[in-house]
């Protein structure tokens, strides 16, 4: 990727993908391609059944770049606050076989009673995982939710400073950061060098709406990224907290909003 080159992608979680039926993922990728996105990201459960079928996935990618595989859980390892290492390595192996560029990890907030120690363990685990998956040809990105931005000393700042910038990058969920009250364009301008990608979502009165139809400062984010000559992926993430799957009805206006903001 050339300096200043921004690419647009889409998370598959706006569609009703059933991991037991790979054809639902393939149909989703076709629609993402038809919307003229350049790449996609998907959840780990969607790719495990395809672990030994790279040819099958590749034939349905329509030239889309496989940006990454995301591990999101409702419960995490008590020590590292991340997914259990066995699951991480299983998913990383499958992702590598299928041609993904990176493994994306979400995590639980550090423990409040011994927060400093907990954060250090979490950062150390991210460094170790990144080192181990390098052998598989994968890069590591940490994905935030709202809690990483809360409080006078936000967890995200510690994770940025305590992880190796040569090993660990970040996938900023700008929607969660925005809803936590963060000045997203300012955060991007301060940390652009650590960001591999940005999840973009929009809210109107705290309810999610298609990107470009709410209060999220998309134009200012685009300006901040362009001014830094940032290279990376901006990804529409049109999941819904009520578990509804809007598919094209949300992804199409999101793509239009990205075209308008970034010119691509």
Return the exposure string of 20-55: e unless at least 16 CB atoms fall within 10 Å of the residue's CB, then b: eebeebbbbbebbbebebbbbbbbbbbbbebbeeee
What is the rounded average pLDDT for all residues in the chain? 96
Instruction: Please return the burial class of 167, using the count of CB atoms within 10 Å of its CB with bins 0-12, 13-18 and 19+.
Output: middle
Instruction: Give pLDDT, residue 161.
Output: 97
pLDDT tens track for 125-145? 999 999 999 999 999 999 999
Instruction: Give pLDDT, residue 172.
Output: 98
- pTM of the prediction? 0.96
The count of C-alpha atoms lying within 13 angstroms of the C-alpha of 62, restricted to the half-sphere facing its C-beta, is: 16
Token match 């998309």: residue?
218
Pull the structure tokens for residue 16: 């009703």
**Kind plus residue range of the DSSP H or E element containing 132:** helix 115-134
pLDDT band at 24 (very low <50, low <70, confident <90, very high): very high
Q: Is residue 212 pLDDT above 80, yes or no?
A: yes
Instruction: Give pLDDT, residue 6.
Output: 98
For the domain bounded by 6-262, which CATH number is listed?
Answer: 3.20.20.150
CB contact at 8 A, 4 and 230: yes
Q: In the predicted model, what is the mean pLDDT of residues 200-228?
A: 96
Domain boundaries, the chain: 6-262
Q: Which residue has the higher pLDDT, 113 or 180?
A: 180
pLDDT tens track for 44-89? 999 999 998 888 999 999 999 999 999 999 999 999 999 999 999 9
pLDDT band at 111 (very low <50, low <70, confident <90, very high): confident
pLDDT band at 262 (very low <50, low <70, confident <90, very high): very high
């Amino acid at each position: 990727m050339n300096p200043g080159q921004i690419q647009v992608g889409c998370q598959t979680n706006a569609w009703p993908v059933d991991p037991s039926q790979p054809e639902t993922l393939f149909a989703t990728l076709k629609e993402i391609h038809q919307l003229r996105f350049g790449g996609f990201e998907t959840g780990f459960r969607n790719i495990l059944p395809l672990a030994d079928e790279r040819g099958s996935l590749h034939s349905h990618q329509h030239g889309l770049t496989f940006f990454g595989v995301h591990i999101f859980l409702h419960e995490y390892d008590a020590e590292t606050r991340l997914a259990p290492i066995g699951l991480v390595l299983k998913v990383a192996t499958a992702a590598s076989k299928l041609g993904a560029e990176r493994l994306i990890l979400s995590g639980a907030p550090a423990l409040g009673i011994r927060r400093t120690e907990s954060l250090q363990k979490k950062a150390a685990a991210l460094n170790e995982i990144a080192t181990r998956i390098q052998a598989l040809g994968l890069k590591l990105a940490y994905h935030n939710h709202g809690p990483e931005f809360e409080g006078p000393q936000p967890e995200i700042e510690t994770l940025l400073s305590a992880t190796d910038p040569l090993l660990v990058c970040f996938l900023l969920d700008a929607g969660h950061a925005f809803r936590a009250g963060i000045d997203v364009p300012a955060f991007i301008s301060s940390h652009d060098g650590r960001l591999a990608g940005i999840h973009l979502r929009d809210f109107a009165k705290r309810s999610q709406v298609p990107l470009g139809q709410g209060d999220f400062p998309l134009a200012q984010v685009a300006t901040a990224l362009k001014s830094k000559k940032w290279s990376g992926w901006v990804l529409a993430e049109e999941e819904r907290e009520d578990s509804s799957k809007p598919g094209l009805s949300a992804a199409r206006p999101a793509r239009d909003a990205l075209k308008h903001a970034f010119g691509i």
